[in-house]
Amino acid sequence: MNNAKFPIHPWKITEIGFNPQHLAENESVFALANGYLGFRGNLEEDAPTGTRSIKGTYINGVYDTAPILYGESAYAFAKNSQTISHVAETKGFTIKADGEHVTFSQSLTNHVRELDLYTGILTRTFSYKTKKGGSIKVQIERLVSQENKHLAAMRLKITGISGGCDVEVTSGVYKPEFEIAKSDDPRTATGKDMNMILTTSGTFKPHYGAYTVLATKSSGMSVAAAITHQVTNAKATPTGESAWTFKGNTSQEIIVEKFATYYSGESKNFDAKQCRDEALSAADTQSYDTFAAQQKTFYKNFWDEVGMDIVGDDATLQGLRFNMFHLLQSTGQDGRTNIAAKGLTGSGYEGHYFWDTEIYVLPFMLHSSPQIAKALLMYRYSILDQARVRAKELGHDKGALYPWRTIGGEECSAYYAAGTAQYHINADIAYAIASYVRFTNDTEFLCNYGTEMLLETARLWYSLGFFNTEKGGKFCINHVTGPDEYNAVVNNNVYTNLMARENMLSAIRTLNDLQAKDPQKYTALKNKTNLSEEEIQDWDNASEAMYLPYRPDTQIFPQDEGFLDRKPMPIKDIPKENFPLLLHYHPLVIYRHNVCKQADLVLAMVLLGDYFTMEQKRENFHFYDAVTTHDSTLSKAVFSILASEIGEHQKAYDYFMFTARLDLDNTHKNTKDGLHMANMAGTWLCLVQGFAGMRCYGNTLSFAPHLPQGWESYTFNMHFQGRTIKVYVDKSGSKFSLVRGESIEILVDGKSITVHSQQ
Ligand code: BGC
């Protein structure tokens, strides 16, 4: 499984030596971020000639727009693209030794790069020998501060200077330049102009400061970046527009600490002063060591809180921790931003936010950092008005339709069949709201924000579907695409219909509760949204009459009404090189066949497990297992979870193993464009919902734990209604204890037990 690109270690990802072939994918692997600011793991110096490198520094929520150019447009197609911008680069250092640019060559030896997941710090060391016979040792550390979201800190140390070697270091803040390359792969952001325009730049004296202000071309956003330095044993001179050069005294070690700050805002009233002030204050009052110490404390707390460990399988543990680390790094936490499909690690999928958030990432946050789960939902609330407008554009007189892919809130999907048609995003958001409230009891959120979103999304389903006389008056939802993008624009996708039903029922329950508990708020919301009692009754009727295609003889739920009428496409007969199918067949060819890209019905069975019998779960798992290519990385985790539930432990483990190290081992072959956030969260879900069998139906928390073969034990913490519950599973069985909070009754393998409070 492990191709040994990185030695197995429970906390560290270490690159020994340098393999130019892996450069771009390792830039994703070694990315550092804090939910706001993201640095790809680029080398400090320019990448060696002939290697493929993708420079990237991102600010969550900063993007540019451009009109989508359709060969043939149609009414209400998404108008503009939004593409994550590449903001100023500050992570670079140019080192010259005896006048030679220090870069990969035969002169550079002992190269090691190490990401310490326990501390959040990236370190790089190497030695360099010049042609004149001089030599140096270089150590560079980098962190993107979790405590101060606007700050990154770096420290460059040059030691062991011998042979009279002349050393100088240049450090600056630069506007990045990109060529607009084109690709047929819809998963990349190539073909999109991510360059910003330079507004101002310059240097300032105290602490060898420099700054750059860049603006997007048309979205009206600006980003300022400033740097300051603390320098030991070197003489500084300003260099060019926005850099400084530090020249050492031969043989004395040189230390350059660099503090970089970033601020973003609307171009029209943008003031870069705060950015410069903060960079100055970092250099004035702090040192790299203080920021490093803060970072270590922050990550220690995070790891203590999630409390996850596996004994007996370090390779998998490394994969899981790596995944959790990156999820935390990439998730927006301010209620105005979200998590992109590739996080802040690359510009794949243009930096867009998808349903990946609510169905994959949010549950991980819910169980480890519930306040971040709330922030993700607050982002959806912040774009509710745009969703209302979008619903109208799509012909719905009421309700809200959330965009399939977006950053700023408007629909950006240019291919409606696998985009806008995925109306299930509405129900996914509603599902996440209900889970969040169930797991946190945050009624304040529900009253003030959640209910309104539930109501507007419920409305949309009623407007979209209809009571179909051809189907005995059942409520049908036609011409939508479910999660599986290889069966597009279909009728009565079971996942969509069931989730829509759940959405309407949640809205009814929540409104009834609100009316009973806070009649004033209820009336205010009714007035604000113009809601009538008849509407609530309509949702009830529609839920009751929801049409779900089903074959009682085989117990198979066709993924959508027409699924079983499509031509078979046995996966085993497809040549290996034709995967993923989306890059080798016209969509129509795919749509005509009985083949799935990803979990769809199987996902419904995981999310709404109490709707199905165990027998149905078994039959459908095997049926869909045979027709799913897993061309999407969102698929295997879901199959693993259901496999665990139906007792197919080997399958569960095999699927899980595909997810656990997918980006570390680059098994999906596109890690260079960014890490696969949904899959990363999926791994954790395999552990918690799969191996430990955690479910919450109604208000009852239940587990059905088993231990994968070869493991000694595993453990994790999860939050539930103000408690932190520690789950521990080993060969002798499972143990549950409370880290904090009140005693609770849970079900373990169907039997009720009380987990007692420690207080
Ligand atoms: C999947 C979608 C997913 C998107 C972004 C696509 O390949 O089919 O379900 O939302 O990737 O991760």
Q: What is the pLDDT of residues 415-465, one digit of tens each?
A: 999 999 999 999 999 999 999 999 999 999 999 999 999 999 999 999 999
Tokens of 360: 């994959």
As a whole number of angstroms, the distance between CA 550 and CA 11 comes to 47
Average pLDDT, the chain: 96
Ligand 1: residue whose CA is nearest its atom 7: 632
Residue range 7-15: mean pLDDT, rounded:
97
As a whole number of angstroms, the distance between CA 459 and CA 177 comes to 46
Report which residue type is found at 543.
S
* CA of 484, closest atom in ligand 1: 8
Q: What is the pLDDT of residues 367-376, one digit of tens each?
A: 999 999 999 9
pLDDT of residue 1: 40
Ligand 1: residue whose CA is nearest its atom 6: 632
Asked if the model's pLDDT at residue 80 lies above 70, the reply is: yes
Q: What is the pLDDT of residues 227-285, one digit of tens each?
A: 999 999 999 999 999 999 999 987 899 999 999 999 999 999 899 999 999 999 999 99
pLDDT of residue 184: 72
β-sheet bridge partners, residue 353? 406
* CA of 582, closest atom in ligand 1: 7
- Cα of 116 vs centre of ligand 1, distance in Å, is 29
β-sheet bridge partners, residue 713? 311, 730
Residues ≥6 apart with Cβ < 8 Å to 520: none
- Cα of 355 vs centre of ligand 1, distance in Å, is 8
pLDDT of residue 608: 98
* CA of 483, closest atom in ligand 1: 9
pLDDT of residue 190: 61
Q: In which order are the strands placed within the sheet that holds 221-232? A: 12-16, 108-116, 121-129, 135-144, 151-162, 254-266, 221-232, 209-215, 197-204
Residue range 653-677: mean pLDDT, rounded:
96
As a whole number of angstroms, the distance between CA 19 and CA 92 comes to 20
Annotated catalytic sites, by residue? 485
Asked if the model's pLDDT at residue 758 lies above 80, the reply is: no
* CA of 352, closest atom in ligand 1: 5
pLDDT level of residue 728 (50, 70, 90 thresholds) = very high
- Cα of 632 vs centre of ligand 1, distance in Å, is 6
The H-assigned helical ranges of 628-693 are 636-645, 649-660, 677-685
CA distances to 43, 74, 664, 729 from 141, rounded to whole Å, are 11, 52, 21, 37
As a whole number of angstroms, the distance between CA 250 and CA 540 comes to 80
- Cα of 597 vs centre of ligand 1, distance in Å, is 10
Apex 14 CA angle, 11 and 15, nearest 5: 165
Q: What is the pLDDT of residues 579-614, one digit of tens each?
A: 999 999 999 999 999 999 999 999 999 999 999 999
Residue range 452-481: mean pLDDT, rounded:
98
Tokens of 652: 């569960």
Apex 711 CA angle, 708 and 715, nearest 5: 90
- Pocket perturbation via mutation, ligand 1, pick of 600, 634, 662, 675 by most ligand atoms within 8 A of CB: 634
- Cα of 299 vs centre of ligand 1, distance in Å, is 30
Cis (ω within 30 of 0) for the bond into 580? yes
- Cα of 191 vs centre of ligand 1, distance in Å, is 19
pTM: 0.97
Pocket of ligand 1 (CB under 6 A): 341, 349, 354-356, 483, 485, 597-598, 632, 634, 678
Helix axes 451-464, 494-517, angle to 10 degrees: 140
Q: What is the pLDDT of residues 324-346, one digit of tens each?
A: 999 999 999 999 999 999 999 99
Residue range 174-195: mean pLDDT, rounded:
75
Percent share of the chain, pLDDT over 90: 96
- Pocket perturbation via mutation, ligand 1, pick of 338, 350, 632, 680 by most ligand atoms within 8 A of CB: 632
Ligand 1: residue whose CA is nearest its atom 5: 341
Residue range 74-98: mean pLDDT, rounded:
97
- Pocket perturbation via mutation, ligand 1, pick of 356, 361, 493 by most ligand atoms within 8 A of CB: 356
pLDDT level of residue 469 (50, 70, 90 thresholds) = very high
Helix axes 451-464, 370-382, angle to 10 degrees: 50
Tokens of 567: 């031509």
pLDDT of residue 2: 40
pLDDT of residue 458: 98
Q: How far is CA 164 from the centre of its chain?
A: 49
* CA of 678, closest atom in ligand 1: 12
Tokens of 740: 């904090």
- Cα of 419 vs centre of ligand 1, distance in Å, is 10
Q: What is the pLDDT of residues 386-397, one digit of tens each?
A: 999 999 999 999
